[in-house]
A and B are shown apart, each in its own frame.
Chain A
Amino acid sequence: MERRWTLYDPRLAWMLVAPVLLLLIFFLVLPIAVMAAYTFFTFVTAGVETSALTTANWHEFFTDSYYSGFLLKTLRVGAITALLCGVLGYFPAYFIWATTFKHKWLLLLLLIVPFWISFTIRTFSWINILGEQGVINVALPKLGIINEPLPMLYNEGAVILGMLHFLLPYMILNVYVSLEGIDRTLISAARSMGCTSAQAFREVTLPLSLPGLAAGLLLCFVLAAGSYVTPQLLGSGRDALFGNLIYDTIMGELNWPMGATLSIVLFVVLGFFAAIYTRYMGMSQIVKGLAG
C-alpha cells in the first residue's frame, strides 16, 4: 500500500519541530555543554584561564560550606516566594474567573499592564515606596503613627516583596487559565446534589485548578531561585541569592571556571526540582495548567 502523508504523520511532525529543535540545540544545549566544559578549566588570574583540565572548581564547591549555605538559602527564599505567590495569587485569579463583570478582558489587561514597564524600573520603584524618604516613611510620621522611619528596604523582606511584585501575574494567569478549563456544569451538579458554595469549591473547583496552581508554583519557584536583579537592588549584601554569587564570581572576580561551576550547579538543582515535580505531578498536568 502506498504510504501517504497524513495530518499526524510523524515525518511531518519532525519537520515542523526541526527548526525549534535546532534552535534549542544551538542556543541552549550547546551553550550549557560549553559551560559544563568550562567548569574543568583552570583559573589563572582575574580574566585569565587555561584549558588545562582540573577538578579544583568542583572540589571547592563540594568542600566549601559557603556555597552550600547560599544554595539552601536561595531554595528557601524561592520556596517562600512561590508559596506566597500561590496564596496571594489564587484569590485574584478566582475572582477574575468567577466575576460576571461584562468586561472581564479589562481585568486580564490589568494583569499584563505591569509588563509594559521595564522590570528594572518596576523593581527600582520600591525604593521610592519603602525607602527612608519613600511614600510610607514620609506619610506615617506626618500622620503621627511612627516617630522613626521603618527599616523596610535592603533586607530579605524587601527582596521577597520585589519578587512577589514581579511573579504574581505569572501565578494569577496560570491559575486563571486552569480555572477557565473547568466545566462549570460540574459545579452546578455539585450544588444541585446539596453542596454548599464552600463545599463545591473544596470538592470540585480547587482540585480541578490544582494543575494551574502547581504550574504557577514551579514557575515562581524557579524564577525566584534564579533571581539576580531583585536582591541586588532591594537587598543588602547579606540578602544575596545564588545568582548574585554567580554574578560576583564571573563579573567581579573574573573567574569564569568557578562561575561556570556555580551556574551548572544552579541549573542542575533547579532542573532536579522540576524533574521531581514532574515525576509526582506529571508533566502533562503542568502543561495542561499552562495551556488551559
Chain B
Amino acid sequence: MKLTNSKRLERLQDRYMNGGVSRRTFLTLTAAAAAAAGLDMPWMRQALAAVEQVRFDGWGGTVQDAIDKYAFQPYTAKTKIKVVQGTFGDEDEIITKIKTAKPGDYQVIHSSGVNYYIKYVNGGLTSEINEANIPNMVNVLQPMIEPFRKLTPKLSAVPYDYGTTGIAYNTKVISPEEAKQKGAALLLDKKYAGKVGGYDDMTTRVWYAALATGQDPNNIKDMDAIWAKVRETRDLAKKFWSSGAELMDLLSKGEIVVTDAWSGRVAALQDQGHPIGYLDPAGSYAWMEDMLILKGSPMAECEELINFMLDPATSIAVAEGQSYPPSLDPTKVKLTEKIEKLPAFDKTGTMKTLTFADPVYWATNEDAWTKQWNRISKGA
C-alpha cells in the first residue's frame, strides 16, 4: 500500500501525540514535509517513510505460529511493513521489559485480557486507539469490548480471541467418565499424587481453589479455605508449568496425567495425536486475549495491522490455526464448523455461558494474593 504524504503526516502526528517521537523530531519532520511541497529531496522522503516495521510480542508456540502464518505474513506481503516478533512465557515478564524500555520499543502485545489491561493502565503504558482506523471492529463481540471500555473509554486494546483454562487429562490413565464425574476435583485426587500439574499462576490457582471450596471465584468469602486448597494441590503436584510449551511437554511426555490447561494448547496436542482429554467443569476459568497497542507506537500502522488481523478471513484462519475461538460475533460473521467445535466457543455471542474474572475485584486483590501464591508455591 502506497502512503500519501498527508497520510504520513497524520501518522507522524499520531506518534507525537502518543509520545513516540519527541517534540523536536516532530517539528523537524513536519518542517521537512512542509518544504517537500516545493523541494522533493531524497533525504526528505527517507525522513517521512520512517515506519517500515511494527514490533509484536506474543505467547510463542502454536499460537504465535498461527498468527504469523495467517496474519503477519499476508500483512507484510500486502503492505511491505514487516512485523518483528518477540515472545514471552508470562505477561508480567513482558511488562517488566516494557518498563525498562523507551516508548515505542515494544508496540503490539498479545495481552491476557482485562486483568492485565489494568496493569498497563496503572503503569501509564496504554495508548489511545482511533477506532475509525479499525473498521473491522464492528464485527467484534461487544461483550468482549465492554470490560475494556469500562476501564478506559478510549481503548488501547482490541479483543482478539478467547478460551478457557479447563482440565486436561491423560486418557490412558483417566477415563472420560471419571474426568466428567470428578471435574475440577481431579486436581485434588490423592490417587494421582505426584502426577498432577497446574499453571504457575495466582489467578488460576485461586480460581480452582474457589471452585473446590464451593465459592464464587469473583466473590471469595473465605480466603483461608482457598489457601488451604492451594496448598493441597501444591502437595499433590509434580510441577507447576509456566508456559504453553512446558505444559505441552509435561503432558505429552507423561510427566503429569492431569492439570488445569489452556484449551487451545490441549487442542493442539490432540491434533498431534496425543491421548489427552479436555473438559470445562462448571465455572471453568474463561479468559480473553487482546491486541494491545502500547504508548509510543506508530499508531496508524498498528491500527492498520489490527484491522487486517480482524478481517474475517484472517481472523478465522488464525483461530483455526491457534485453536482458540476468535472475537468475531458469530451472529454477524459466519464462522467455520471447525471453530464452532473448539472448546469454549460461544455460539450465542453473549459470552454468558463463560465465567470471566471480574477485573476490578481481581485487581483489588492481585498484589496480596500474588505474593501469597509465590510463597505457597515455594513450600510456605
Chain A residues within 8 Å of B, Cβ to Cβ: 45-48, 66, 70, 127, 131-133, 151, 153-154, 232, 236-238, 240, 244-245, 248-255
Partner-binding segment picked from B11-19, B177-185, B283-291, B364-372? B364-372
Please judge, given known A-B contacts A66-B380, A153-B255, A236-B238, whether A252 and B122 are in contact too, CB under 8 Å.
no
A46 near B96 with CB under 8 A, answer no
Instruction: List B contacts of A251 (CB < 8 A).
Output: 90, 92-93, 96
Nearest 4 Cβ contacts at the A-B interface: A237-B377, A238-B379, A47-B123, A133-B253
Residues of A within 8 A of B370 (CB): 46, 252-253
Q: Would you call B367 and A131 a contact (CB within 8 A)?
A: no
A46 and B122 form a contact (CB under 8 A):
yes
A131 engages B253 (CB within 8 Å): yes
**Quick check: A237 and B234 within 8 Å, CB to CB?**
yes
Q: Is B347 an interface residue (CB 8 A)?
A: no
Judged by a CB distance under 8 angstroms, whether B78 is at the interface is: no
Contact assessment for A47 and B90 in the assembled complex, using a CB-CB cutoff below 8 Å: no
B379/A46 in contact, CB under 8 A: no
Q: Are the C-beta atoms of A254 and B95 separated by less than 8 Å?
A: yes
Q: How far is the CB of A150 from chain B (nearest CB, A)?
A: 12
In chain B, what residue has the closest Cβ to A241?
B378
Minimum C-beta distance from A159 to chain B (A) = 13
On chain B, the residues within 8 Å of A66 by CB distance are 375, 380
Assess the B239–A154 pair: CB atoms within 8 A: yes
Q: Decide if A254 touches B254 in the complex (CB within 8 Å).
A: no
Q: Which residues of B contact A245 (CB under 8 A)?
A: 378
Q: List 19 A-B contacts (CB under 8 A).
A: A45-B122, A46-B367, A46-B370, A47-B119, A47-B122, A66-B380, A127-B253, A132-B253, A133-B255, A151-B194, A154-B239, A236-B239, A240-B378, A245-B378, A248-B374, A252-B92, A252-B370, A254-B92, A254-B96
A48-B123 in contact (CB<8A): yes
Q: Please give, as numbers and ranges, the residues of chain A lying within 8 Å of B99 by CB-CB distance.
A: 47
Whether B378 lies near A238 (C-beta < 8 A) is yes
The answer for the CA separation of A255 and B371 in the assembled complex, in Å, is: 10
- Tell me the smallest distance from the CB of B120 to a CB of chain A, in Å: 8
- Please measure, in the bound complex, the distance between the C-alpha atom of A232 and the C-alpha atom of B243, giving whole angstroms: 12
List B192-244 residues whose CB lies under 8 Å from chain A. Answer: 194, 200, 234, 237-240, 242
B371 contacts across to A, CB distance below 8 A: 253, 255
Cβ contacts under 8 Å, B234 to chain A: 237
Q: Which residues of B (64-122) have their CB < 8 Å from a CB of A?
A: 90, 92-93, 95-96, 99, 119, 122
Q: How far is the CB of B239 from chain A (nearest CB, A)?
A: 5
Closest to B98 in A: A47
> Within 8 Å CB of B249, what residues of A?
127
Task: Give bound CA distance, A47 to B375, whole Å.
Answer: 19
Once the chains are docked, how many angstroms separate the CA of A131 from the CA of B96? 32
Number of residues on chain B facing chain A (CB within 8 A) = 31
Q: How far is the CA of A250 from the CA of B90 in the complex (A)?
A: 12
CB distance from A2 to the nearest CB of B (A): 52
Residues of B within 8 A of A127 (CB): 249, 253
**Known A46-B119, A133-B255, A153-B255: A253·B96 in contact at CB below 8 Å:** no
CB distance from A51 to the nearest CB of B (A): 15
Q: Cβ of B93: which chain A residues have Cβ within 8 Å of it?
A: 251
Cβ B119 vs Cβ A237 within 8 A: no
- In the bound complex, CA of A154 to CA of B237 (Å): 10
In the assembled complex, how far is the CB of residue A165 from the closest CB belonging to chain B, in whole angstroms? 20
CB A147 to nearest CB in B, in angstroms, measures 15
Chain B residue at smallest Cβ distance from A240: B378
For residue A128, give the distance in angstroms from its CB to the closest CB of chain B. 9
With both beta carbons as reference points, the residue of chain B lying nearest to A245 in the complex is identified as B378
Taken together as a complex, chains A and B put the C-alpha atoms of A251 and B254 apart, in Å, by: 29
Contacting pair B255 A132 (CB below 8 A): yes
Q: Are B90 and A252 in contact (CB under 8 A)?
A: yes
Residue of B nearest to A69 (CB): B380
Give CA–CA (A232, B89) in the complex, Å. Answer: 13
Q: In the bound complex, how far is the Cα of B379 from the Cα of A236, in angstroms?
A: 10
> What residues of B have a CB within 8 angstroms of the CB of A249 in the complex?
374
Question: Closest B-chain residue to A134, C-beta based?
Answer: B253
* Alpha-carbon gap, A223 to B269, bound state (A): 37
Question: Closest residue to B253 on the A side, CB-wise?
Answer: A133
Quote the shortest CB–CB distance from B28 to chain A (angstroms). 30
For residue B94, which residue of chain A has the nearest CB? Answer: A251
Say whether A237 contacts B240, CB under 8 Å. Answer: yes
Chain B residues in 8 Å Cβ range of A132: 253-255
A153 to B238, CA, bound (A): 9
User: CA of A45 to CA of B369 in the docked complex: distance in angstroms?
Assistant: 12
Assembly CA distance A232 to B377 (angstroms): 12
Given contacts A131-B255, A133-B254, A238-B378, 20 further A-B contacts (CB under 8 A): A46-B119, A46-B367, A47-B95, A47-B119, A47-B123, A48-B123, A132-B255, A133-B253, A154-B238, A154-B239, A236-B237, A236-B238, A236-B239, A236-B240, A244-B378, A251-B96, A252-B92, A253-B374, A254-B92, A255-B367
Residue of A nearest to B97 (CB): A251
How many angstroms from the CA of A133 to the CA of B200 in the assembled complex?
Answer: 23
A252 CB → nearest B CB, Å: 5
User: Can you name the residue of chain B whose Cβ is closest to the Cβ of A232?
Assistant: B242
A160 to chain B minimum Cβ distance, whole angstroms, is: 17
Contact with A along B237-278 (1 / 0, CB 8 A): 111101000000100011100000000000000000000000
A69 and B200 alpha carbons, distance in the complex (Å): 22
Chain A residue with minimal CB distance to B239? A154
Q: A55–B239 Cα gap in the complex (Å)?
A: 36
Give the residues in chain A near B255, CB-CB below 8 Å. 131-133, 153
Q: How far, in Å, is B121 (CB) from chain A's closest CB?
A: 10
Would you give the shortest CB distance from B212 to chain A, in whole angstroms? 19
B366 to chain A: which residues have CB within 8 Å?
A: 45-46
Query: Which residues on B sit within 8 Å (CB–CB) of A133?
Result: 253-255
CB-based nearest A residue for B380:
A66
Q: Which residues does chain A contribute within 8 Å of B123, judged by CB atoms?
A: 47-48
Beyond A48-B123, A252-B92, A254-B92, whether A70 also contacts B254 by CB under 8 A is: no
